[in-house]
Chains A and B, each alone.
Chain A
Amino acid sequence: MDIGQKSPTDVKNTVLSRIVGENICPRARVWYRCRECGVWTLWLLTILLSAAAGAVSFFVIMHRQYALFEATHESFLSFMFEVLPYLWLVVFIIAAGFAYYHFRHTRHGYRYSFLSIAGATVVASLSGGIFLHYFGMSFHFDDFLGKYLPGVYVSQSMMEEKFWQQPEDGRLIVTLVSELDPGAVALVMDVEGIQRVIDITELFTPDVELLRAGTQVRLLGRVLDGAHESTFRACGVFPWLYTHMVPMEQFRRDREAAIARLYDHRDRARAEARAYLTAEVAGVTSLSPPPARACAEIAAVKRLRE
C-alpha cells in the first residue's frame, strides 16, 4: 500500500481554498459555552427529576410502613404490591439514566468510568431525594400532581382515600361534625362530603379523643344491618397519614397503639364472655349477658388474631 505519495500540499491547499471559497469560519466560542451549559442544565434537570422521584418514593415507602394494612389488605405483601410507587421508581431509573447520558456528554464526561458516573448519579439523586423529602417537598410534589393531573396521576393521599373510603367494608375517612349523644352517637362528614351518623359506643377513650380533635381521621368499623336501616359502628380511630410532616417515631407509636386497641376489642369481648360464663357456673343469675361486641369480629381483628 502506498501512502503519502500524493503531494502533502494538495490537502493543505484544498482545505485552505475551501475555507476561503466556502467562507468557513470557526464557530464562536460562546456557542460551545452555551452548548456545555445546555448539557449541564439538562444534567441538572434530570438529577432534579430523579431526586423528586426518589423523594416521593421515600415518602411513600416510609409512610406506607405505618399504614394500617391489616384493615385494608390480606397481607403486608399484597399491600406493598399494590402501593409501591412503581411510576416513581421507573421515573427515577429513567431520569438517572438520562442524567448519566448528559454527564457522559459534558466536555470531560468521557474520562469517568460507567460505574463512577452511574454511582455519582444515583448518590446525587438519592441525596437530592432525601433533601427534598426532609423539607416536606415530596408530600407537596405528590399532592400537587394529584390535584392538577386528575385522572392521570393518583397521589398517595388519593390512593389511601381509595382504600379507606369504603363504608360497606367498614372503612371511612371522616371529620367529626358533632356528637349527637356524647360517647354514643356522632355526626361525621366523610371525604365525599356525605354526613353520616355513626355509633361510637364501642370506641375506647383514646379513639374518642382522637375523633373529638376535629381533624380528618380514618375510621374502622362494621356496618350493622338493623330492621330499618344500617348503622356504622366505629371500632377504631386512626390519624390520617397524609396531612403534614409527622415524625416517623410518632407514626410508629400511633400504629402500635392502634393495633393494641384492636386487640383490646377482642380481649374485652373475651373477658366479658368469660366473666359471664364464670358467673353462670357459679349460679349467679342476676348478671345480664355481655353486650354484643361487633368490633371483636371485624376483619382486621380476625387477621390480627391469626
Chain B
Amino acid sequence: MLSIPTSDNRSDSDIVVATLADREQFGVLIERYEAKLRRYIARLGVREIDDQADVLQETFIKAYRNLNSFEQSLAFSSWIYRIAHNEAMTWFRRRRVRPEGNLVAESDEVLELIASSADSPEVQFDQGLNATAITTALADLDPKYREVLILRYFEHKEYEEISDILQIPIGSVGTLIHRGKKQLSSVLNPNTVRI
C-alpha cells in the first residue's frame, strides 16, 4: 500500500479529484477525517470502539462509492459528516436503540460557548455552568435538538454546514438551536443553572 504523507496541503476537493484517478489517495481523506468523525459519531451515541470502527468503515466506503456525487459547491467536510450522520442513524435503527448522545467532554470551553451564544434573552447561562449537569441534560434532549447542538457547539459547524449535514433548511437550524437551548435550560437542574 502506498504511503501518503500526512502533511498534505491539498484541499479536500483536490484530493477527491486525485482519488478518482488513484484510489490510494483516499487514504489522505481518511486520515484527515477519521478522528473528527469518530468523535462525532461517539457524540451521537455510538459508544463502543468496535461499533465506532464499523460505522466509520461504512462511512468511508459509502463516501468512496459516492465520490462522484460530491459537488464542489458543498464543503467536503459537510458532505462526509452527512454520510457519517446517516450511517450512525442507520446503525441505531439496526440496533433498535435510541441515540442517547455521549458528549465527549470538551471542558468548560464548549459550555461557555453555549452560554455566550445564547441569542435569546430568556436563555442566559450562568458563568459557573456545571459541565456534568449540562452533559446529562444534553443526553436527555430530543435527538433533533441534540444533533444540532452537537454540531454547533462541539463540532463548531456553521449554520450552513449544519444545514448541509442534516439536510434541513438553514432557518430550521436556527430554530432548532434556539429551541434546543431552551429545552436544555428547562431540563437542567434549576439549582445549578440560573436562567
Contact = CB atoms under 8 A, between A and B. Distances in A.
A250 interface: no
Contacts of B31: 8, 12
A113 interface: yes
A16 interface: yes
B118 interface: no
A11 B42 CA distance: 15
A2 interface: yes
A178 B30 CA distance: 90
Contact of B67 (A4, A5, A6, A26): A26
B53 A10 contact: yes
Given A4-B35, A4-B39, A107-B71, A19 B167 contact: no
B5 interface: no
B167 to A, nearest CB: 4
B79 to A, nearest CB: 12
B66 interface: yes
A3 B38 contact: yes
Nearest to A29: B68
Interface string B160-177: 000100011111100000
Given A26-B64, A27-B68, A16 B26 contact: yes
A4 B38 contact: yes
Contacts of A110: 163, 167-169
B81 to A, nearest CB: 14
B119 to A, nearest CB: 19
B61 A26 contact: no
Interface in B83-132: 102, 104
A3 B163 contact: no
Contacts of A28: 68
Given A3-B39, A3-B52, A12 B169 contact: no
A33 to B, nearest CB: 9
Contacts of B65: 24-27
Interface of B: 1, 20, 23-24, 26-27, 30-31, 34-35, 38-39, 42, 47, 49, 52-53, 56-57, 60-61, 64-69, 71, 102, 104, 163, 167-172
20 contacts: A1-B102, A3-B38, A3-B42, A3-B104, A5-B49, A6-B49, A6-B53, A11-B34, A11-B53, A11-B57, A15-B60, A15-B61, A16-B1, A16-B27, A18-B57, A24-B65, A26-B20, A28-B68, A110-B168, A112-B169
